Amino acid sequence: MTTLFTLEIHYEQDVVQARQRTRELAEQLGFDGQDQARLATAVSEMARNAFQYAQGGTVKFDLEDNPQTFLVQVQDQGGGIPHLSDVLDGRYQSSTGMGLGIVGTRRLMDVFEIESTGQGTTVSLGKALPKRSPTFTDLQLQQIREAIVGRSPQNPYDEIQRQNQELLRAMAELRKREEDLTYLNRELEDTNRGVIALYAELDEKASSLQQANELKTRFLSNMSHEFRTPLNSILSLSRMLLTRLDGELSLEQEKQVTFIHKAADGLSELVNDLLDLAKVEAGKTEVNPSSFEVSDLFATLRGMLRPLLVQGSSVSLVFAEPDGLPSLYSDEGKIAQILRNFISNALKFTEQGEVRVTAEQVGQMIQLSVSDTGIGIAPDDQERIFEDFVQIESDLQKQVKGTGLGLPISAKLAELMGGRVAVQSEVGKGSTFSVCIPIVYPKVTELPDSLQPITSLNPARLPILAIEDHIETLFIYEKHLQASRYQLIATRTLAQARQALEQLQPAAIVLDILLEGQNGWTFLRELKSDEATRNIPVLVITVVDNEKQAIALGADGFLIKPVDQLPLLTKLNRVVGQGKAQKLLLIDDDPAYRYVIKQLLTNIPLQLLEAASGREGLAVAESEQPAAILLDLEMPELSGLDALEQLRHNPVTQSIPVIIHSSTQLDLATRTRLAQQGVAILSKEKTSQAEAASHLREALAKAGLVLDA
């Protein structure tokens, strides 16, 4: 903070001088004419209050460095403002004026704080410097200070005349806008008359179409149910005949019953599709979200669809293993239905090659794709295939059965879950059908079990209080912090956040500013003014790029949504570990391997500690209390597993994140048990140094270390 000028208010002329000095300093700092007028008006109003109600005061002009902000403090030693809360809420009726000076000033400024007691009032005003303004050096600030100090006060009447000219310009601009609005209103009135008539006609047609659609849906639903009973009877009876429950059939009879069974089976499939379509269009299809893994979904589909492959077929069905994907919180059954439609179509229209099912994360969505090497679809037909009952004519189409409803139903189910379907195809080369589904179902109203308030905290993990009204974002945060040193405490309202703060002291707070019906800025100001919470780091994550205001109000970090895992962990590590030394303890009996690790970590700001045995590592961990421990499992005397057990039972070391780094092949039970105690399990046997470094950096970030200077 650099002080530019200080002015004492003793006489009424000093109020005018405060206005002049504000304008001059604002001009020197690069503010445009409009902002100069705003600043001058605001300071003038607060200086006049100090003169009128406290018989004088002090106006202090400062420049804050990071971010560059022009700050003005107006202080008096009067009797204070008795109805300050009413004034700030706009409820106070002044007997000496309009009572709007303080409220209006607050609206004009980026920063506004006021404290008033019986010993006086202090008002702090601030406005961030324009982005085009350079970073001022000490020499430049000294020149600005000397120029202002050496400048003689202007005639008060000149300042008043200048103020009047600004007022006249503002009034003229307002008058012009009023004339423009009047003209636009006349045009809108004329347009509205035509629009109202058009809407009336459209409403009438829409009502007729809605009635027709409801009748069609009701017909499909009722008739489909009526069809289902006799169809089931035909299928059951034909199966009984084919299994010879009532005696043998002749070859001709068997052929006839087989035709009947196939026809009934095809009709049953059509009825089921019609029922699904009718339910979706009638709005009766409910989404039942639950948490599941994409790998489990693929395993289920692999077993379910294997019978579709003909014995000796030249087509292979391949499910690519989905690595590193978060859990989905959506309707698993409906996603499976969409993929079944895609895969069965791909198998029908692929004569040789393969059908490949893949999954990848795209932003905050999971894209599931089915690619084939089949006949492909012409560009003109790629939109038509999503229309009801449309089937594209081809040689293969005549050989396979279908209703033409699978793809339309898939598209409607995807929309129902907040996603979308798409197709890419080239005739003769194959097609790729994909569905993008949000990681968390957007219309979910209740928190998933994993985000329910935590009653017992894990002492080995640091609590992070998240205040976010969108459940899907909380779910993403929870997935990002999995297997890290942090655990998420999820709240959706400021009231829940205040209640959580009464019960625990979080390592950091993640705050969304745009909370529905709530003011995140006010809560941030509240956190930083309260003695109990002012030292808790606050990371603001929101959709609006307003970093300057967040930092000015005391936020320790800022990110714009959507946020990926590594930036979130990096920011949390930085705000949580401010001013703390970063020590990493290597416990490994192999000096060559310790050397390799040090080479991999050359560019990371760490203090590396070494221990050549498990017992030595325990002693160093207790005395130095490092930020994280890199532990080998295979060591003489005391193994890594035993060392880990002792680390977790020692109150001094139990909360230190441990990264298991070993070449030992672990069974599933051991890996599961170790994963519950350590941050990550890494193998020493990596294919390349770059891959090893990448895995190690990721593990260190999850352990809470800042990876860049």
Contact status, residue 558 vs residue 539, Cβ threshold 8 Å: yes
What is the reported pLDDT for 370? Answer: 94
Domain shared by 353 and 298, yes or no: yes
Q: What is the mean pLDDT of residues 527-555?
A: 90
What is the reported pLDDT for 408? Answer: 84
Domain shared by 43 and 70, yes or no: yes
Q: What is the pLDDT of residues 268-307, one digit of tens each?
A: 766 666 666 666 665 656 788 888 889 888 988 887 777 6
Q: What is the pLDDT of residues 198-232, one digit of tens each?
A: 877 887 887 777 777 666 666 655 555 566 667 77
Q: Closest Cα partner for 684 from 612, 615, 594, 614?
A: 594
Q: Does a structural domain hold residue 188?
A: no
Domain shared by 204 and 97, yes or no: no
Q: What is the mean pLDDT of residues 565-587?
A: 86
* pLDDT above 70: percentage of residues in the chain: 85
More confident residue, 590 or 444: 590
Q: Does a structural domain hold residue 572?
A: no
Domain shared by 506 and 618, yes or no: no
Domain shared by 592 and 657, yes or no: yes
Q: What is the mean pLDDT of residues 89-103?
A: 70
Torsion of CA 531, 532, 536, 540, to 10 degrees: -80
Q: Does a structural domain hold residue 431?
A: yes
Residue that finishes a domain, picked among 127, 154, 181: 154
CATH code where residue 324 lies: 3.30.565.10
Q: What is the pLDDT of residues 354-378, one digit of tens each?
A: 999 999 988 778 999 999 998 888 8
Could you give the CA distance from residue 701 to residue 681 in angstroms, rounded to a whole number? 14
Q: Does a structural domain hold residue 641?
A: yes
Q: What is the mean pLDDT of residues 321-334?
A: 84
Q: What is the pLDDT of residues 593-643, one digit of tens each?
A: 888 888 888 878 888 899 989 899 999 999 988 988 888 888 888 888 888
Domain shared by 399 and 496, yes or no: no
Q: What is the pLDDT of residues 7-48, one digit of tens each?
A: 999 988 888 888 888 988 998 888 988 888 889 889 988 998
Q: Does a structural domain hold residue 164?
A: no
Q: Is the pLDDT of residue 454 over 60?
A: no
Q: Does a structural domain hold residue 615?
A: yes
Q: Is the pLDDT of residue 660 over 70?
A: yes
Q: Is the pLDDT of residue 456 over 70?
A: no
Domain shared by 19 and 106, yes or no: yes
Domain shared by 67 and 204, yes or no: no
Q: Does a structural domain hold residue 385?
A: yes
What is the reported pLDDT for 436? Answer: 93
Confidence category of residue 389, pLDDT binned at 50, 70, 90 = low
Burial class (CB in 10 A: 0-12, 13-18, 19+), 615: middle
How much helix, strand and coil, in percent to the nearest 5, is found in the chain? 50, 20, 35
Q: Is the pLDDT of residue 265 over 60?
A: yes
CATH code where residue 489 lies: 3.40.50.2300
The answer to whether the peptide bond before residue 67 is cis (omega within 30 degrees of 0) is yes
Could you give the CA distance from residue 597 to residue 264 in angstroms, rounded to a whole number? 68
Domain that holds residue 262: 197-281
Q: Look over the chain and give the mean of its residue pLDDT values, rounded to a whole number.
A: 82
Q: Does a structural domain hold residue 655?
A: yes
Secondary structure (3-state) at 111: strand
Contact status, residue 430 vs residue 371, Cβ threshold 8 Å: yes
Two structure tokens written together for 480: 């990002």
Could you give the CA distance from residue 644 to residue 634 in angstroms, rounded to a whole number? 12
Q: What's the pTM?
A: 0.50
CATH code where residue 264 lies: 1.10.287.130
Residue that finishes a domain, picked among 404, 438, 472: 438
Domain shared by 8 and 150, yes or no: yes
Domain shared by 609 and 673, yes or no: yes
How many domains, the chain? Answer: 5
The label of the residue with tokens 């672990």 reads 666
Domain shared by 406 and 469, yes or no: no
Q: Are strands 557-560 and 583-587 parallel, antiparallel or unpaired?
A: unpaired
Q: Is the pLDDT of residue 326 over 70?
A: yes
What is the reported pLDDT for 593? Answer: 83
**Exposed e or buried b for every residue in 469-479, given b needs 16+ CB within 10 A?**
bbbbbbbbbbb
Domain shared by 523 and 547, yes or no: yes
Residue that finishes a domain, picked among 388, 419, 438: 438
